[in-house]
A and B are shown apart, each in its own frame.
Chain A
Amino acid sequence: MPMLALLATNANQLILATEELGEINDGGLLASLAWLIPVVPLLAAFAIVFFGRRMRYKGWELAMGAMGFVGIYGIVLAFATMNSEITYQGAITMGEFGPLVLEWGWMVDGLSSMMYFVVGVVGSLVFIYAKSYMAGDIRFTWFFASFSLFAGGMLVLVAAPNLIQLIVGWELVGVASYLLIGHYWEDHDNSSAAIKAFLVNKVADVGLFIGAIIIGTTAGTFRFSEILSQVAAGENDLLKKFAFLGGLALFIAAMGKSAQFPLHVWLPDAMAGPTPVSALMHAATMVTAGIYLLGRMFPLYFVEGYAVDVRPIIMIIGALTLFLMGLIALVQTDLKKVLAYSTLSQLGYMVAAMGAGAYTAALFHLFTHAFFKSLLFLGAGSVIHSVHSNEMTDMGGLRKYMPTTFKTFVIGSLALAGIVPLAGFWSKDEILVSFGDASGGAANFALYLSIAGAFITALYMTRAVYLTFFGEYKGQGTPHESPKMMTVPLVVLAGFSVVAGLINMPGITAWFTELTAVRFTVMGDHHPTEINFVMAGLGLTAALAGIVIGYLLWSKDAETQQARDTFRIPVLYPLLKRKYYIDDLYMDGIVRPLRGPVARSVDWFNGHVIDLFVNGAGALAKFVGKYVYRFDQSGLDSAITASAAATGAGGSVLRLLQSGRVQQYAVMIFAGTVVLVAGFIIF
């Protein structure tokens, strides 16, 4: 195992590095061994590639073992962090290139423990589920290898104590998502979706590179703890000067991974991957990376004098995403796409909350959302597994056939809609309160849109539940309940969806706040100490109104809803159906023009530059003609014939040069070089 060898050879540096930091509060062995968390899944991924096929469960047991390890470690670590406030970071120096120090490290604090917990627990449940869901797939082993890589990449990202390692994890997640979205690559649409996800993410990744370079060079270090303590001390003027640009660039990176408007286009298409992938991608890994980055760099956006000006932008982008993407979810007929747009909308909440300065509220929503969204996706996967179609027009009436899936799906939907006392209510309420507390136009904008968003969320989830589980079954064959391997994770996640919100009830419990407050830099952090009945009432009313209206609209006629959706959402329908034409804009505005730019520029060159020569030759001929005319007038006919012949001969000689053969051109280039150089030397 290469990592162990590395540790052994660099043992001295390891001790030095940790002593230098002097930030070990405690945590002992538990925190100092936390480097295993990202490494175990990565090693599992490689082991599955090499040995998976020969194993009893074709590599699944390795992936499961790794994820289970991460889950258990994550649970223990989260509790330990909360109780004894561990802020630990360790690093091995991988190399020093002048001023640039490359480190591989790991950190344990509230934020990263929370992420280990979420990735580990949700990941383990999804892996259990996926064994049964993917059974019989021709690339079963390969799937689990990339799946482990996906989770491992996310854990590398979360464990990163510096921007460089964060980039490594960021890209690992991107590559693994490419592999997973394109899992069924035989279908051209799926591989296109994978390429699309990869490319859109790459566009945003440029932001991450630029942001990391700006912040790393102005702060003189890539370590988060050092950058953020500089920010907290407020002494680095150079960093202050560039903080806006750096913060904006990092936010653009977050917009890509967390799929914020207008870089959201890849996420709905990423549904092309197998459903467990969607569940993990939408809940714990990948899309949470952007929120995580904003949370990690939070003081940069929060402390006066740094990137505070980015915050209104973050709020507005988040608010637009949560509102616009929720509307699209209303017209989708594909069950997974409804959930995908719902994820986009919920990510909008988190991003906007980060912008409003509600660090804990945003992370709390990430935490609760991870449970109910993975529950909803796994439930959708269970439905798709038995119906063999993604379209809600092929479903309906499944309540009778799949009782467990139905019950858990309804719990997930209610949690997502924010019905008291399920998880979504508490986290969404906290976000609404934070918008209310923040001042400024952007916060008000976000507040109104997020209340409207709560209504829309309830509306589309009601629609999805009715179309899928009520009415008459419209598909083919007889649907059946999924096997135990798939329903047990659903039940467990449903349990989490019920209780996850209870750990941070304003005024009653504050465990989650205590956990996220464990950080390297001290920072003002407001958690409402008592429940704000106005906001809670508004959010709850909006959600209940959404459910009631959704019931009235969609409960009766399960057969004809698709045709009538057009009627029900009159003006918006075509706009929503085409997803605000953003995909078309990208396709026609960017992709198509770029496809043949070379051909086009060559064409332009032909049309303009070469024409210029032709026209010039024409003008010259005209000029010459004038003289020739005079000569002609004076009776020199022979001169005319001669000049015409000369032109013709010259043309036919020159025509030989224009053969289109590359090698003749090469001859001229080489000969020309020789002549020129010789000329320079001689004269």
Chain B
Amino acid sequence: MKLFSCVLLVCIFFVESSVSFVYSEIIPTADKDSQPTDAVEGTEEGAKEIRINKDEFEEIVEQLQGMKELLLNMKQDYENRLKEMQEKIAALEKERTQTTDIVSQPASTTEAPIAGIEDIPMKKEEYDTVVEKLQKMESDYDSRLKEIQETYDSRLEEMQQKVAVAPQPASPETGTWSPEQPITLLSMGKSYMNISFNGLFAAAGSTAEDLETLETGGHDPNQRGFTVQNLETTFEGAVDPYFKGQANIIFQIDKDGESFLEVEEAFLTSMSLPLNLQVKAGTFFTEFGRLNPFHPHAWDFADQPLVNGRFLGPDGLRNPGVRLSWLAPTSNYTELFFTVQDSQGETAHSFRNEEALFGRDAVETRVRAMEDMLYTPRITTSFEVTDETTVLLGASAAFGPNSTGRDKDTLIYGLDMFWKWKSSYASGGFPFVTWQTEVMGRRFEAGEDVNAGLSDEVMHNWGTYSQIAWGFKKRWVAGLRGDYVDGEEEAVDPLGFERWRVSPNLTFYPSEFSKIRLQYNYDDILGSDSTEHSVFLQFEFLLGSHGAHKF
């Protein structure tokens, strides 16, 4: 009898403890040490290694609590009955010993209270029936316990299955929160938005008195001494299951020490339109050529190529609009882009810019019909030359009205090529070699300007750059760029003169999040028959979330 009750107690304890065991272990504790688990058949063991999201977790906890309660009730009930039985047994035992020992042990008169028991005559059969009854009960309880265990096991397995197929990423919940813990609002993977800040600065020395007439880019070093090139805050994340959103807000300090703020990009991108289509809407860099959509900190050089500054503008070609792109269902990558944007403003430099080009004064233009928007079609394709070499080719055009007169249009067209070799045994992404080249042409219908004495004519210009970056050793990149642009009519400074430029540089990346770059520019300004030498020391840091790199 004792053995039986012990077994029962052990059983109860086991079920109970396994429940509480799972219950407590489902919360991943800081010490995730565990014995080898059988992921396939493991029930309790598997469960303690499964990490799940909060909703599911709470659901499981609820279920388990229900179960625990049930088991507790059972235990209570069981214990009560066990107690009863034990009492009965004790009584019976006593009786038996009394009946058997009665001969040797003369009944003591002092045991008067117990004497009452003696009134119940103990018969062998009766004793046997009680034992039988108890045995029956034992098997009954055994089967009931088994049943409970089975349902419990199956439910646990079910839950496990659910957890295993749950698509949520691992969310490491490090126990319950207590008031002493810091509240993290923006930790990676735990917030709705990734935030990063990028600071890009340059120190410049030059033979040119005015660097602003030499450097074409709005983020280029603009004076002897220091330049704040770009202070960029990036917000990025999934908007909902359908869109991804991104915003790049730029702070800058100009030559005169004035701070200003600029919305460089803010757009959403569709994640899964049918027919391989994708929409981007907001204000964003136009998908024209290779370099234009890249932010300054991702450039391989401290300044932007001359042709980009001259045709696409100091701040790059960007405006509010919509872009539709289509991924061709081919085996190699081919994508078609079509962008419609506003055609006015200084970020549409060769178009309806308030500062008209070629010495003309801007006339007031407005959008009269669809053709007064800026349209940019682009096609790009990529293939793998070898296992380690990839080529990306593209062709783009941008057309829209310009501000030198009514019905005056501009067309920019370009070809671009990006080639990259990267070792199969690359460590930290090194070693690699990239070669990037762009050629652009511009057809500009310059309107008549009576005041300036300029007549109606069509200007054709072109320019090109080609650059190589060689990551020769981990953290070190050597670069070389050649630039050429032809001369613009009515040009007054190197920004419009025919010129070529050679720029070697060397960049050191202490880590992925910082860089130091030394660059030399040799400028040969054919238009004014002069040469200029400039040296830039650029440095960058990145705080916050790790953005994904484009190819």
Q: Do A and B come from one complex?
A: no
